[in-house]
Amino acid sequence: MATAADAYLARRLRPFATTIFATMSELATATGAVNLGQGFPDTDGPSALREAAVAAIREGRNQYPPGNGIPELRRAVAAHQRDWYGLALDPETEVLVTVGATEAIAATVLALCEPGDEVVMFEPTYDSYAACVAMAGAVPRLVRLHPPGWTFDPGELAAAVTSPRARLVLLNTPHNPTGKVFSPDELAQVAALCRDRDLLAVTDEVYEHLVFDGTHVPLATLPGMRDRTVTISSGGKTFSLTGWKVGWVSAAAPLVAAVRAAKQFLTYTSPAPFQVAMAHGLALPPGELQRLADELAAKRDLLCEGLEHLGYRVYRPPATYFATTDIGPVAPGLGAEEFCLALAARCGVVAIPSSVFYGPGDPAAGRTLVRWAFCKRESVLRDALARLASWVP
């Protein structure tokens, strides 16, 4: 579809003129709909962190911090990776603070890929990946995840890296939009491929602490992976503070140096007071993070049970903010995009058509899949379910 940006936008970015999240949040605001689209909580995270940010501003932490991040946060990230996963990192050379995971992903892909290099990604794919690959002039190689368990065919994965231009695997676990947590066996397959084909790995682990069933295992902990993996995370999801945009990269020093080279010309550095507060967040006791995840698990159950009751085919997620449904039983014949537009207008609820998370090669892919965010107050989820009950096919 042609958009207003096309008159000036470089061709490689035309498929990415507007993000689905902005489009659907604007639709929710314009129609007064309940917004179960873009993934942000409707209650703010721990007051201790918010107070720490206020105190940092009052105490004068308001000028450019070091380009690689304030030492307190780099030390906190290293301590977090050690305490949670047994990964030893030097906070001086092996940690880089970024403007959210979004910048970390962009800087990493820009830093590591030559034009024409191939990036293996699991589809459906979080929206920024394809755009970042395009900005780098690299080429996506997609490996499909299949419902209900969002598993992949190992043969398809192996076939995705046959070219000498294969450069890296970009893995997202826990996974947006499906909520999948890659199993130890699946991670072992990815790791084996990276080792055998001498590929780098980039892992986006922003939902690492929002796991309800199963366990999150960073790819970097697998044999032979520590020195070839760039691990990316962010505090936005863990602490329900998505607007703060503090993320981080951890990896072996040469990889961090490469990503830093790109990051310094994207943003140079990340907002200082929020870095101070995030360092406090990472030092919270594990029980506090578990409490946040338990609250979210109850919301997942409420939304999934409600959607099932309404007739949707629900792929109950073991992690993240999102549940994916097949709308086939409730909206026979409708595609997800058409359904989501009609839903906002007719029922006052906004959700995300998951079809947008699939590449252009297969227009039928994800055609009837819709993603719903459950990181909302219980009353809001109940209101949304009540509104959805008025849907007539």
Kindly state whether residue 85 participates in binding ligand GLN, applying the rule CB under 6 A.
no
Q: Which of residues 192-211 bind ligand PMP (CB under 6 A)?
A: 204, 206
Helix, strand, coil % over all residues of the chain, rounded to 5: 45, 15, 40
172's contact among ligand PMP, ligand GLN, none, with CB below 5 to 8 A by partner kind, is ligand PMP
CB 48 within 8 A of CB 288: no
Helix (H) or strand (E) run with residue 82 in it: helix 71-85
Nearer to ligand GLN, 21 or 85 (CB): 21
Cβ distance to ligand GLN smaller for residue 20 or 96: 20
Nearer to ligand GLN, 36 or 255 (CB): 36
Query: Which regions of the chain does DSSP assign to beta strands (E)?
Result: 34-35, 95-99, 118-123, 139-144, 166-172, 200-204, 229-234, 246-250, 313-315, 322-326, 349-350, 352-353, 369-373
Nearest CA among 216, 165, 171 for reference residue 319: 216
Q: Does 38 bind ligand GLN (CB under 6 A)?
A: yes
If we measure between CA atoms, which residue out of 182, 152, 173, 139 comes closest to residue 361? 139
Query: For ligand PMP, which residue of 20, 56, 101, 111 counts as binding (CB under 6 A)?
Result: 101
Question: Among residues 126 and 182, whose Cβ is nearest to ligand GLN?
Answer: 126
Q: Is 21 in the site for ligand GLN (CB under 6 A)?
A: yes
Min separation Cβ 342 and ligand GLN, Å = 21
Site for ligand GLN in 165-194 (CB under 6 A): 176
The listed partner (ligand PMP, ligand GLN, none) that binds 245, CB under 5 to 8 Å by sort, is ligand PMP
Size of the site for ligand PMP (CB under 6 A): 14
Binding to ligand PMP by residue 238, rule CB under 6 A?
no
If binding is defined by CB under 6 A, does position 263 make contact with ligand PMP? no
Q: Which does 38 bind (CB under 5 to 8 A by kind): ligand GLN, ligand PMP, none?
A: ligand GLN
Whose Cβ is closer to ligand GLN: residue 152's or residue 322's? 322
Identify whether the C-beta of residue 306 lies closer than 8 Å to the C-beta of residue 381.
yes
Helix (H, G, I), strand (E, B) or coil at 372: strand
Residue 268 · residue 67 · CB < 8 Å: yes
| 246 backbone dihedrals φ, ψ, rounded to 5° | -110, 115
Separation of alpha carbons 168 and 204, rounded Å? 13
Contact 149, 317 (CB under 8 A): no
Site of interaction with ligand PMP (CB under 6 A): 39, 100-102, 126, 172, 176, 204, 206, 234, 236, 242, 245, 247
Site of interaction with ligand GLN (CB under 6 A): 19, 21, 38-39, 176
